[in-house]
Structures are given as structure tokens and as C-alpha cells.
């Protein structure tokens, strides 16, 4: 296992005064501490000692029911047997690897992709088959050539991809499913849509039980709860449950009840519209700043939701070279190379726009542009 460069960077960005575009963090100022405090009391008085006891590996039944109901859309009808509660969506990634991958197995991944998926699967001896990404998401037309290498699964983030923010088009969603391979749909950002029309998930479009989907409350409630899940066909859920048992027995019972209490008292309905409004303003401020200050020849994605804008600098400008200079001026970003396979993406950078307020975003983008111009 290699240390994650991003985790190292996050340590540096914890410094006071730092304008960090580096992490994938929500703004903790937007959490309602009063609501959480009330929910803690409510769980203790309503559920009592059961909320502090060991629980089932699959998760608290009522929470599994809530997740099943929330994601049953159109023709998709889910029950709790389709749902395994996990310790963050990150654990769903780990479990998928443990259950599905043997040494030497191939996994199709977007290039760039979510690097912590690679960190979970690399130690298992997985090999990655990269597929390009453009403004319409994974370039599905590149898949047929890779399928000849018999990948065990295709890992894809169709909605507001990390790190690019782009969304897979409807046409490509349908084409992706036609390729017949098992698909891991990582879907943490779906609820954070600021404009445009919602597209059906791959899970909703799938008719062959080939898709399994990871989700999380990290981006909608709060990441510190560490509550995620995986939705899939019951035999797969059962196998993942067995693997989870050996990892942590179960996800925190108390935190599951806390999440459930927040959901049942309307936290999402109240909180998500506010998140959408605040994050939309921040995205727009960052897009404005980039247009105003960034060097000519730079391009960037225009995401309809999620947390990230991905910048491509003019050819030959290696983003990682500017990071120490940017950190000196109290601005942080992640060099895009970190998300790429095969050393690609040296002239790219990922910018998070959800953590900092609009004023800091404006200052930070301007400073970053000065660093790039000065060099």
C-alpha cells in the first residue's frame, strides 16, 4: 500500500488561513448542530440501550428499509435484502474488491478516476484498464476493445464524477449497460444537483441484475457519521455481508440510528435545498474566477452538480510543480495526475468548490492564477 498523496496534502491544508480547494469536503458550517444534538437525545430516549448494542452486520433494518424505499424508482423495486449498510461508501469499494477480485483480475476504470478505489484494489493485485473521460463522462465507445480482456467489473461514477464533475449522458448510460459486464456504479454525489435534469441511474436502467451501486450520507448528512451502503442483487449483498463481518462486525449502531432519526425528522428535505443553493453559488464563483484570471489556453469542466471542477492547463504546465508555491500562498489544490493512471494528466488540477465561502473562493482562484502566471 502506498500512502495516499491526498491524505498527506489534507494534513497540510488543515493549517488555519489555508484556502483549500483540495479535499472533497462539505462545509461543516452548514451542519445543523442543534438538529444533531436533538437527534442524539431522541435516539437515546426512543431506542435506548439497543442503539448502543452490537447490531446485525447488514445494518439496522429500518435504515435498510429507508434506503431501499428512497432508491426504488420507476421500475426498480428494492427491499432491505438489496441493501448492505457500510462504514462509508469507501467500505463498499473495499468489499467489492474482496468479494469480486482475485490477483491478476482486470477492472475497467475511468481515467481520471477516484483514486481511493485504486488504493482499495491495488493491494489485491488488480490490474486497471483505463477508459477516457470527456464532457459526457466515460467514453463508452472505447469499451469494446477492453472487453476482449475480460474485465471482472467496470467501475464508473456516472453522476458528477470525482475528480472531473462530469455526468455520463443518457445515451452512454444505455450503451454501457449493453456491454454486459458487471458494473459498479459509485454514486455519492447524485443529490447535489444545481441545475439540469436528473438522469436515471445505471441501477434504474439495468434489467439484468448486473449493476451494484454504492451510496453515502457523507455528502448529504455528514461524513463523520461514516454511513454508506451498497445496493445490489441479494446474493452479492450476502457475500459482501460475510466479508464485512470479518472487517468490522457491523457499522456503528448508534450512528445508524442517528442517521435514521435525522432522516425521519425531515433533515434531508430541509438541508439539501440549502446545500444546493450555497454550493451552486460557490460553483458559480469559481467558474467566474477561472474565466477572469486563469491563463489563456486553460480549459475546465462545467459541472451541473457535485463538488469538483477539473482544470486542464496549457500543455507543458505541470500542475504538481505549482503546488508548493500555491501552498506558500495559502491555497491548496490536488494535482490531477493523482487521479490518472499511466502518468497522464500532468497539466490538470482538481478544485473543490464546496468547502470555502464565496469570498475565499474568489481570493483563492485569483492567487492560484497569480502563482501560475508568475511561474
Which of helix, strand or coil describes residue 21?
A: coil
What's the min distance (Å) between Cβ of 216 and ligand PMP? 3
Q: Computed from CA positions of residues 82, 84, 85, 89, in that sequence, does the dihedral angle turn out positive or negative?
A: negative
The cell for 48 is: 435506548
Choose between 51 and 115: whose C-beta lies nearer to ligand PMP. Answer: 115
DSSP state of 193: B
The one segment of 83-91, 171-179, 229-237, 242-250 that binds ligand PMP by CB under 6 A: 83-91
Which of 111, 213, 216, 298 is the binder for ligand PMP (CB under 6 A)? 216
User: Considering the complex, what minimum distance in angstroms separates the CB of residue 144 from ligand PMP?
Assistant: 25
Position 59 contacts ligand PMP (CB under 6 A) = no
Given the complex with ligand PMP, which of 82 and 216 has the nearer CB atom?
216
- Residue 371 binds to ligand PMP (criterion: CB under 6 A): no
How far apart are alpha carbons 243 and 233 in whole angstroms?
16
The residue range among 77-85, 88-96, 237-245, 275-283 that interacts with ligand PMP, by the rule CB under 6 A, is: 88-96
Contact call for residue 223 and ligand PMP (CB under 6 A)? yes
Burial 72-102 (b: 16+ CB within 10 A, else e): eeeebebebebbbbbbbbbbbbbbbbbbbbe
| 236, 99 contact by CB (below 8 A) | yes
Half-sphere exposure of 109 (CA within 13 A, CB side): 25
Question: Of the candidates 82, 167, 213, 218, which one interacts with ligand PMP according to CB under 6 A?
Answer: 218
CB of 89 to ligand PMP, least distance (A): 3
Please tell me whether residue 230 binds ligand PMP under the rule CB under 6 A.
no
Q: Cell 493549517 identifies what position?
A: 15
Among 85, 157, 286, 309, binds ligand PMP (CB under 6 A): 157
Q: Of 9 and 47, which CB lies nearer to ligand PMP in the complex structure?
A: 9
Residue 197, C-beta contacts closer than 8 angstroms, at least 6 positions apart: none
Residue nearest ligand PMP by beta-carbon distance: 88
By CB under 6 A, tell whether 162 contacts ligand PMP. Answer: yes
**Does 88 contact ligand PMP by CB under 6 A?**
yes
Stretch that binds ligand PMP, among 87-95, 283-291, 318-326, 362-370 (CB under 6 A): 87-95
Cβ 164 to ligand PMP shortest distance, Å: 11
Separation CA 280–CA 268 (nearest Å):
17
Q: How far is the CB of 134 from ligand PMP (least distance, A)?
A: 18
Asked if 109 is part of the footprint of ligand PMP (rule: CB under 6 A), the reply reads: no
Strands 211-216 and 228-231 come out as: antiparallel
8-37: contacts with ligand PMP (CB under 6 A): 24
From 26-34, 86-94, 122-130, 165-173, span contacting ligand PMP (CB under 6 A):
86-94
Asked whether position 306 contacts ligand PMP by CB under 6 A, the answer is: no
Residue among 51, 60, 84, 89 that touches ligand PMP (CB under 6 A): 89
Q: Which residue, 136, 39, 66, 112, is CA-closest to 312?
A: 112
Q: How far is the CB of 223 from ligand PMP (least distance, A)?
A: 5
Tell me: does residue 188 bind ligand PMP (CB under 6 A).
yes
Residues with Cβ within 8 Å of 64's Cβ and at least 6 positions away in sequence, in order, are 58, 80, 83, 84, 85, 229
Cβ burial of 154 (10 Å; 0-12, 13-18, 19+) is: buried
103: left (phi over 0), alpha (psi -120 to 50) or beta: beta
Beta strand residue intervals within 243-339, DSSP E? 299-300, 308-312, 331-332, 334-335
Q: Is 90 in the site for ligand PMP (CB under 6 A)?
A: yes
Q: Which residues bind ligand PMP (CB under 6 A)?
A: 24, 88-90, 114, 157, 162, 186, 188, 216, 218, 223, 228
Amino acid at each position: 500500500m502506498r500512502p495516499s498523496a491526498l491524505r498527506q496534502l489534507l494534513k497540510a491544508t488543515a493549517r488555519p488561513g489555508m484556502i483549500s480547494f483540495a479535499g472533497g469536503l462539505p462545509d461543516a458550517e452548514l451542519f445543523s448542530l442543534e438538529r444533531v444534538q436533538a437527534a442524539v437525545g431522541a435516539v437515546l430516549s426512543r431506542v435506548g440501550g439497543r442503539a448502543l448494542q452490537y447490531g446485525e452486520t447488514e445494518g439496522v433494518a429500518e435504515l435498510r428499509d429507508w434506503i431501499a424505499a428512497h432508491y426504488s424508482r420507476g421500475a426498480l423495486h428494492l427491499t432491505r435484502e438489496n441493501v448492505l449498510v457500510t462504514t462509508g461508501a469507501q467500505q463498499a469499494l473495499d468489499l467489492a474488491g474482496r468479494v469480486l477480485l482475485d490477483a491478476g483480475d482486470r477492472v475497467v476504470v475511468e481515467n481520471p478516476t477516484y483514486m481511493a478505489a485504486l488504493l482499495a484494489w491495488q493491494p489485491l493485485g488488480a490490474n486497471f484498464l483505463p477508459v477516457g473521460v470527456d464532457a459526457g463522462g466515460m467514453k463508452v465507445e472505447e469499451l469494446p476493445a477492453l472487453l476482449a480482456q475480460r474485465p471482472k467489473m467496470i467501475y464508473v461514477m456516472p453522476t458528477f464524477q470525482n475528480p472531473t464533475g462530469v455526468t455520463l449522458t443518457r445515451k452512454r448510460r444505455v450503451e454501457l449497460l449493453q456491454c454486459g459486464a458487471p458494473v459498479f456504479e459509485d454514486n455519492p454525489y447524485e443529490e447535489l444537483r444545481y441545475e439540469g435534469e436528473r438522469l436515471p441511474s445505471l441501477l434504474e436502467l439495468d434489467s439484468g441484475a448486473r449493476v451494484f451501486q454504492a451510496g453515502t450520507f457523507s455528502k448529504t448528512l455528514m461524513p463523520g457519521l461514516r454511513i454508506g451502503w451498497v445496493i445490489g442483487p441479494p446474493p452479492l449483498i450476502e457475500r459482501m455481508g460475510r466479508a464485512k463481518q470479518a472487517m468490522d462486525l457491523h457499522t456503528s449502531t448508534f450512528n445508524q440510528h442517528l442517521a435514521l432519526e435525522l432522516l425521519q425528522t425531515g433533515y434531508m428535505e430541509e438541508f439539501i435545498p440549502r446545500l444546493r443553493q450555497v454550493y451552486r453559488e460557490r460553483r458559480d464563483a469559481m467558474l467566474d474566477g477561472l474565466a477572469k484570471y486563469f491563463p489563456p489556453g486553460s480549459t475546465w469542466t462545467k459541472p451541473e452538480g457535485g463538488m469538483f471542477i477539473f482544470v486542464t492547463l496549457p500543455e507543458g504546465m505541470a500542475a504538481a510543480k505549482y503546488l508548493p508555491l500555491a501552498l506558500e500562498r495559502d491555497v491548496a489544490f490536488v494535482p490531477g495526475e493523482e487521479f490518472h493512471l499511466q502518468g497522464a494528466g500532468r497539466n490538470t488540477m482538481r478544485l473543490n468548490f464546496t468547502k470555502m465561502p464565496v469570498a475565499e473562493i474568489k481570493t483563492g482562484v485569483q492567487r492560484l492564477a497569480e502563482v501560475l502566471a508568475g511561474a
